[in-house]
Amino acid sequence: MKITYPYMSNSHIAIKNLFEGLGNEVVPPPKPSKLTLSYGTKYAPEFACFPFKILLGTYIEALEMGADTIVSTGGVGPCRAGLYTTLQEKILRSLGYEFEMITLEPPGRYLGDLIKKIKRLINRRISLIELAGLIRFVWEQLKLLDEAEMTSFKIRPREIKKGETTRAYRKAVELIARARSIEDLKEIRNEIKKIYGAVDRKEDFDPIKIALVGEIYVVMEPTANLEIEETLGELGVYAERSMFFTHYTLANAVTDLFHLTGEKNVKKAAVPYFNEMCGGHGRESVGNAILYAKKGFDGLIHLAPFTCIPEIVAKSVLPAVEEKYGIGILSITIDEQTGKAGLQTRLEAFVDLLARKREKRRKGNIA
Amino acid sequence: MNYFLGIDVGSVSTNLVVIDEDSRLLSKVYLRTRGQPIKAIQEGMKQLLKNVGDRIEISGVGTTGSGRHLAGIMVGADTVKNEITAHAVAALHFDPEVRTVIEIGGQDSKIIILRDGVVTDFAMNTVCAAGTGSFLDQQANRLNIPIEEFGRYALQSKKPVRIAGRCAVFAESDMIHKQQVGYNLEDIIRGLCQALVRNYINNLAKGKDISPKIIFQGGVAANIGMKAAFEEAFNQEVIVPQHHDVMGAIGAALLAKDEMKKKNSTDFRGFDVSEIDFKVSSFECGGCPNRCEVVNFHMEEKIIARWGDRCGKWKNI
């Protein structure tokens, strides 16, 4: 079996280790590029959302590279994403590709099916202890990847030489990718501290704080959102996002197994506006927006793929949040455009707006 | 006396202004960009030199508009600002009590909401450019009416025809169909203005608190038909400032004036940038499948800036 899977931020590094550890060959998905996009937009239905197109393109590239099995996640609820693997499978088959599509559905509802599929993915003799060790290593690796990224968000707005944090972050990811054991990861964690420590930065500078909320793929994958976090960081902004891979997995897949509601606080925060889920991350976008506003963030950027219904619902609620909590909100709709200039202008204007607002509040307090 | 230069390089027009230290407008130049911003900037500088150049010395320069970075590098700007901020600054200078700014240019339309002199919200068209200057230009051209006359026609209408807004393509074909069945031009043009205003409100102003004073600036503000349609839609007076067409450049000049309070000397290269040889070359980077088109910006053979790469490999020279 030659497995491939969706590309999302740097998670592919650890996922590769997981599948290899289970005795499979892996064709790591290529980073989304112009080529990915051209495949995706050519073969996907026009009004499918951007994540659908990127994933379809990624699969085509990976199949061309020799993959014969695609592993992806499914989903439930009104968001179309739950149907995506089925549709993608049909499209890819009509293009003449032969492969197996393995869709991992949420454990709470389809446990039997999930176990069957996981068994399909284990292709060597592996003891339970060894399996537990493998999972632990992969998990720690994912955690360190998230950690390294979070640290870069904190340092970037303070960097003195533009681009230095990004270089440090890339080096960190490279190191993490090389790890083969938990011990390695411990050493690497210290190494990363040193790398980041060497980035010259402004002390006693209080950056504008912006949180990113929205649909998971466009929030988490930098090539999809035109590297928005990096861009904000270089404008001197501390950008925090509402989800990271490990946190998301814990809050959704794992809790689902025990029939628990994940991200309870987020859902509860959204209650004045949302009593029900609307699919995707619509409710979470609103809930997170409120939580960030309460935490004292200056602004909020809402990222939504074009035609994404859950985010459209969220977008219509956000002005009410904006008014009630006095937090600035910028909604950005993302599709296949790769021209960054327009986004840059909006971000610069938004940051200006927040900076002036903050200054005014400060002056007001003094007076 | 200190003088400040503001340059707004947009997709359709390139505007330059000079203001004095009391923020009075000394000279303005309005040019078509014609897809060649470098040429337009140089031509603008030449004209400014003719107008005022030999009498004054520039103490600070600001650039704005979609070509702000390019212009900034060319002339040696002290501040490079986005067009939202520049337009807001100019509108506030015109009238400190402004609370809503409508700005429609060649390719972009914007709404800026201000409260107590601070921008609190803004929006810029994203998915569609219907209702912007280029589309109006094109329609005027198709109907064989000078764009300057467009608004006058609209005001002569007694019974506007309903034209589909939403999208420039729908609007155009709806207009053509209605022409063919014989509606008169005035009513169609007025209907078009109303459709574009409706489109603007749906795209940008929805959910925003539009309160007076409302200022309308940008090239399209010259169109009295559009002004009337806005007044009708908001049921409010809409004010068009005298220098509505160069408000972005005025904003940039005001920002430069502000910046020079913090800076010792200007980076301005002088009016003779119009004589310097600026060139652009490009190459495709083969570093990854993105195959970014990287642009080199040369000043007399020397590369002074580079952009276009997504990974930042070439950006820093």
Give the tens place of pLDDT for each residue, A284-317: 899 999 999 999 999 999 999 988 888 999 998 9
Average pLDDT over residues A272-282: 82
CB A101 within 8 A of CB A83: no
Structure token digits, residue A356: 């002036």
What residues in A contact B310, CB-CB < 8 Å? 223, 227, 340
- Nearest neighbour of B84 by CB, restricted to A322, A332, A349: A349
Q: Are residues B270 and B285 in the same domain?
A: no
In tens, the pLDDT along A6-42 reads 999 899 999 999 999 999 999 999 999 889 999 999 9
DSSP tag of A202: -
CB A99 within 8 A of CB A68: yes
What residues in A contact B84, CB-CB < 8 Å? 345-346, 349, 352-353
User: How far, CA to CA in Å, does B71 sit from each of A345, A349, B197?
Assistant: 15, 18, 32
What residues in A contact B126, CB-CB < 8 Å? 332-333, 342
Residue A341: closest C-alpha in chain B: B66
Residue B217: CB partners within 8 Å, gap ≥ 6?
A: B87, B90, B91, B101, B102, B103, B240, B241, B244, B245, B247
CB B19 within 8 A of CB B26: yes
- Nearest neighbour of A357 by CB, restricted to B120, B127, B291: B120
The answer to the question of residue B10 being in a domain is yes
- The minimum CA-CA distance between B289 and chain A, rounded to whole Å, is 6
Band the pLDDT of B131: cuts 50, 70, 90.
low
Q: Are residues B298 and B271 in the same domain?
A: no
The answer to the question of residue B21 being in a domain is yes
* Percent of all residues in chain B with a pLDDT value above 70, rounded to a whole number: 98
Average pLDDT over residues A254-277: 80
The answer to the question of residue B56 being in a domain is yes
The boundaries of the domain holding residue B293 are: 278-307
- The minimum CA-CA distance between A353 and chain B, rounded to whole Å, is 6
Residue A344: closest C-alpha in chain B: B82
Band the pLDDT of A246: cuts 50, 70, 90.
confident
What residues in A contact B248, CB-CB < 8 Å? none
- The minimum CA-CA distance between B52 and chain A, rounded to whole Å, is 31
**Contact yes or no for A348 and B126 at CB 8 A:** no
- Strands B58-64 and B79-80 turn out to be parallel
The answer to the question of residue B290 being in a domain is yes
Q: At what angle do helices A164-178 and A182-197 cross, to 10 degrees?
A: 170
Q: For residues A71-105, b (16+ Cβ closer than 10 Å) or e, as one string?
A: bbbbbeeebbbbebbeebbebbeeeebebebbbbb
Q: Which residues of B have a CB under 8 Å from any CB of A?
A: 66, 81-85, 116, 118-122, 124, 126-127, 207, 288-291, 310, 312, 315-316
- Residue of B68, B109, B119 to mutate when probing chain A, most A C-beta within 10 A: B119
- Nearest neighbour of B289 by CB, restricted to A30, A341, A356: A30
* Percent of all residues in chain A with a pLDDT value above 70, rounded to a whole number: 98
**Contact yes or no for A34 and B291 at CB 8 A:** yes
- Nearest neighbour of B118 by CB, restricted to A34, A333, A357: A357
- Rounded distance between C-alpha atoms, residue B147 and residue B142, angstroms: 11
CB B278 within 8 A of CB B297: yes
CB A97 within 8 A of CB A50: no
**Contact yes or no for B84 and A36 at CB 8 A:** no
Least confident of A141-145, A250-254, B176-180: A250-254
The answer to the question of residue B178 being in a domain is no
**Conformational region of residue B266, where left means phi above 0, alpha means psi within -120 to 50, and beta covers everything else:** beta
User: What is the complex's ipTM, to 2 decimals?
Assistant: 0.87
Average pLDDT, chain B: 91
Average pLDDT over residues B227-256: 96
3-state secondary structure A309-346: HHHHHHHHHHHHHHHHHCCEEEEEEECCCCCCHHHHHH
Q: Are residues B265 and B296 in the same domain?
A: no
Give Dmax (Cα) for chain B.
Answer: 66
Tokens 């959102």 locate to A225
Task: Give A51's Cβ-side CA count (13 Å radius).
Answer: 28
Average pLDDT over residues A272-279: 82
Band the pLDDT of A367: cuts 50, 70, 90.
very low
- The minimum CA-CA distance between B178 and chain A, rounded to whole Å, is 30
Residue B125: closest C-alpha in chain A: A342
Structure token digits, residue B279: 């060139």
User: How far, CA to CA in Å, does B90 sit from each of A67, A130, A346, A356, B15?
Assistant: 58, 67, 18, 16, 14
Inform me whether the pLDDT recorded for B185 exceeds 80: yes
Residue B117: CB partners within 8 Å, gap ≥ 6?
A: B92, B96
Number of domains, chain B: 2
**Contact yes or no for B116 and A360 at CB 8 A:** yes
What residues in A contact B119, CB-CB < 8 Å? 349, 352-353, 356-357
pLDDT at B204: 87
The answer to the question of residue B286 being in a domain is yes
- Rounded distance between C-alpha atoms, residue B267 and residue A47, angstroms: 48
Average pLDDT, chain A: 91
Q: Are residues B271 and B282 in the same domain?
A: no
pLDDT at B127: 62
- Nearest neighbour of A319 by CB, restricted to B207, B288, B315: B207
In tens, the pLDDT along A45-97 reads 988 999 999 999 999 999 999 999 999 988 777 778 888 899 999 999 999 99
CATH of the domain at B68: 3.30.420.40
What residues in A contact B89, CB-CB < 8 Å? none
The answer to the question of residue B231 being in a domain is no
The answer to the question of residue B270 being in a domain is yes
